[in-house]
Amino acid sequence: MTEQRVNCVSHPLIDHHLALLRGAATSSSDFRRSAKMLATLLAFSATHDLTTEETLVRTPLTETRGKILAQRVGLVPVLRAGLLMVDPLLDLIPAAEVWHLGIFRDESTAQPVHYYDKLPADRPVDAALILDPMLATGGTVTMVVDRLRAWGVPSITICLLLSAPEGIEAVRRHCPDVAVYTCAVDERLNDLKYIVPGLGDAGDRGFNTVRTDS
């Protein structure tokens, strides 16, 4: 992947909501709110190359030309944390299709485990946006990219709230033609493959659940 395909989106509002997202004292409701704000801000950049077509619009005064989206767009949230990013994208693209993929990380091996998939056998979308708050090792996201390629999706974009350099490098090696948009790239992964400084477990924090296996 060329460096230009990895886009770290910079904006004062992104900085603000990312700081709130990181805070250990941030409530689950505030965590969800900031995640949605970040997803909205990120989507503005990540969707810049969607194709449009001209249409005739009747205003209260006259007729004029306008542009509407010309592609079938698919949102692909990685369960469950990716669900935090779905609503703001649907607000922006109400006609988007939502296709869920269930993948979790085996904590003992740090490898992705694919457990849920309802993608149809035909009629792939024209453009897919993978929604996953965090990119750690890159194993989960690259598995999703492979699945979408097998479905026949011609244009794939990865939307992330936070990334580790190791994950960015894994995506760069595995799928150099896929664009990556992230709000920040953190320092590193620790020995347990968690992003440092990170923000903890996005799914647990966003959905107000507590791990029982730690």
| Residues taking part in catalysis | 105, 109, 201, 204
The alpha-helical segments, DSSP class H, found in the chain are 12-22, 28-46, 86-92, 139-151, 165-174, 202-206
Residue 15 and residue 38 in contact, taking contact as beta carbons nearer than 8 Å = no
Run of H or E including 84: none
Within 92-204, strands assigned E span 97-98, 101-106, 111-117, 127-131, 134-135, 155-160, 162-163, 179-182, 188-189, 195-196
